Structure 1
């Protein structure tokens, strides 16, 4: 995996079902299809029994563990494996968190993980057929698809012709679809009908391409265009912020190096592209695009127009060039949230209000909205927010992504610049 992607949080979806539902077969097909499409796929398998071991007795790594090591890493060219010993069972979210940089992590099992789930039901499997019938009875009765769905089924208030099986009985289906269910993969007509009534997509067990189309649209990591807004001369700074010396180099270089790890495309919007050409020779591998503002007028909103028009990818992270602690982890978390919520904007919010210059935007919808507001003479970034779906990213979530905070600190004057430079160079505010 490209090391520059290791800061990117991986989206994940769980494939769940009862024993002999065909989960493993479906997971195998999904991984093969998405990989063939050029996506980077990780996987997690939930093993329900304690005591399994992937280490081979007598091998060196086994001997390390027997000697008392609680974690052993086996590394060879092109491969690495970790074996860790701990009490209890790891949470699925923690496991996925330790698997950054994938376009999607496909999890087999972990029904209660809180991940979006795809429910697998196979004809000929008695447990699946029981679940499908109960699922359909609930759908016909208008029962909400919530976490207490199994209890509702047990209470026999679904309008089914026969009383629901008693809890713990051999025929009680258990492991029902929940509010986390985003799709059903099945060849059971009752399950298909129930999914339709709940407005949940249903796919055949062999409809691998259609299912992967759904996963790619809804859950895989979307490519991100990172746009650094460098503008031109700053009246308060007295010169261009992009080229002002900071810690011995032009300030823009700090931003390029901080944000490149999460950029599938790196764009700098500027009114002085000729003064930033040196970046191409300093960072030839990064394919930096220097884009002049499309409108000859100042204002944050015209700058957004340039960013959205220049971007190639559907998600656009916009960051001001004077944010000396701009956070790649925050960009990654915002992009992940944009994908999960299907919002148009994920913007940090704190006691000072929105932080639109360190936010992630959905290109198409935001471009249309910005153009409409510019026609009305608006110049403020937030003026187009009422026209799109905005997801607020609270301070707690910001600190989860970047524990030291400071992401929104900017430098506007030579005095602020010197103070921040002094703090960094002398270690009192190093990053």
Structure 2
């Protein structure tokens, strides 16, 4: 079974900034748009419980159980004893299959973060002031106030302290021992409030605020800002940049293979047609599953075999064969913005790799995310942005091109290195294909032995 990783976004702010209210509204808006949303809440206090004394599950825990699962129709909760505090990345990694996970808190998680600042909250106004000061002075977003000043941030009307902080930040007045910088500044200005770990960072991707200074600072940093009441606008931003993108998976089954001596799609593998294995590996990560084939009648059994996937069987758009015409057929048939194309003889094709490519495309804005290794590009386990690639492929075809990567110079290509492939699919082998009965037999033996 493929565990589909969930993209995540953190909403951060100070106490009483309105994080929970904003998250409630954002979740409701995204769910109303048809997305599956998970959530994580960072509880800063040691020790909490989600069950009550006297309940059976509570008694299980009290008796010494290290993990208790509470299950009921439609609901399940898991309570587990852990060492220390679990990393946010590990929590999100365990939450498979969501279109987005909204995290409350975990500022230092490394997740993209949305910063909330509310004018009615004194701590927020102080942070907004510092945020604006940094923007005016041109300090990089994410300047490490903790390292340089231990967060003792001067108020706006203390020009002497502001200038002292500037000298520290710009290296004009730093003690020889860099570790003493914080104490140096604290000694000079002992009365300023420590908010170092509450400031926007390089992970800040948006600001939600009703403070004019913060809006202006966000503009200077080229970070989008939204009013506290503009939940729909924030949801539009999250939907465009962070929600798991919709993907059409296209399995290219073609037809008769001369070297195989028969159709690769229906050749037996582990007692079943090979195409069934590809469907089972890739359908769980697809929002729309297409199989391109010149023998739709011979593959019609797939509708009864996998009724849950509503498979489209699509014939080639051109009456001549070739890698590039095959890509055109795949993209033309797709109904989603992202199109993953996989050859049907890739016995170990990876759904996890498809998801990793989709997330990389979403983050980078690339038009093609293509694995690359010592053999070159792997265009038949790559991901394509339909809107950009379909016309580029058509132009290449009009020039008489047939190679799969003939249009790459006309679009934005992100190479996906082997290290990233193995991160998504640690077992590797994603690009191994079978062209002859002997090759298929060898792969089948290795599969059965494994």
Q: Which TM-score applies when normalising by structure 1?
A: 0.93
Q: Secondary structure at the match of 1:230?
A: strand
> Aligned pair 1:64/2:60, yes or no?
yes
Of 124, 128, 134 in structure 2, the residue corresponding to residue 128 of structure 1 is 124
Which of 94, 113, 124 is 1:98 aligned to?
A: 94
Find the residue that maps to 1:322 and give its secondary structure.
coil
1:281 pairs with 2:304 = yes
1:294 partnered with 2:290: no
CA shift for structure 1 position 96: 0.5
Of residues 250, 258, 265 in structure 1, which corresponds to 2:281? 258
Q: Which residue is 2:346 aligned to?
A: 323
**Which shows bigger deviation, 312-321 or 61-70?**
61-70
Partner of 1:389: 412
Q: Does 1:313 align with 2:309?
A: no
Structure 1 distance, partners of 2:418, 2:294, is 33
What is the alpha-carbon distance in structure 2 between the residues aligned to residue 390 and residue 54 of structure 1?
A: 47
Shift of 1:283: 2.0
Corresponding position: 1:119 with 2:115: yes
Larger radius of gyration: 2
After the TM superposition, which segments of 4 or more aligned residues of structure 1 sit over 3 Å from their partners? 149-157, 159-162, 164-170
Q: Is the alpha carbon distance of 1:149 and 1:201 closer, same or farther for their aligned partners in structure 2, counting shifts above 3 Å?
A: farther
Given the alignment of the two structures, is residue 171 of structure 1 paired with residue 193 of structure 2, yes or no? yes
Provide the rounded CA distance (Å) in 2 between the counterparts of 1:389 and 1:146: 29
- Contact 1:149–1:178 (Cα < 8 Å) also in 2: no
The yes-or-no answer on 1:272 pairing with 2:295 is yes
| Aligned 1:18-29 pairs, distance under 5 A | 18-29=14-25
Following the alignment from structure 1 to structure 2, what is the Cα–Cα distance between the partners of residues 419 and 139? 62
Query: Does the CA contact (< 8 Å) of 1:30 and 1:212 recur in 2?
Result: yes
Q: 342, 346, 358: which is aligned to 2:365?
A: 342
Question: Could you tell me how far apart the structure 2 residues matched to 1:359 and 1:169 are?
Answer: 57
Over the residues paired in the alignment, what is the CA RMSD in angstroms? Answer: 2.2
CA deviation after TM superposition for structure 1 residue 8, in Å: 1.6
Task: Please name the residue that 1:108 is paired with.
Answer: 104
Shift of 1:152: 6.3
Q: What are the ranges of 5 or more consecutive residues in structure 1 without an aligned counterpart?
A: none
The secondary structure found in structure 1 opposite 2:408 is helix
Q: Work out the CA distance in 2 between the residues paired with 1:82 and 1:399.
A: 30
SS in 1 for 2:297: helix
Question: Deviations along 1:151-183, whole A, 9 cap, x unmatched?
Answer: 5676999x9944237557543433111111110
Contact 2:296–2:315 (CA under 8 A) maintained in structure 1: yes
Distance (whole Å) between structure 1 residues aligned to residue 346 and residue 414 of structure 2 = 22
Return the offset for 1:372. Answer: 2.3
Q: C-alpha separation between the residues in 1 aligned to 2:258 and 2:152? A: 70
Question: 2: CA distance between counterparts of 1:87 and 1:152?
Answer: 32
Number of paired residues?
Answer: 423
Give 3-state SS (helix, strand or coil) of 1:275's partner.
coil
Consecutive unaligned residues of structure 2, counting only runs of 5 or more, are 166-184
Which TM-score applies when normalising by structure 2? 0.89
**Counterpart contact for 1:305–1:367, Cα < 8 Å:** yes
Instruction: Write the distance in 2 (CA, Å) between the matches of 1:60 and 1:392.
Output: 53
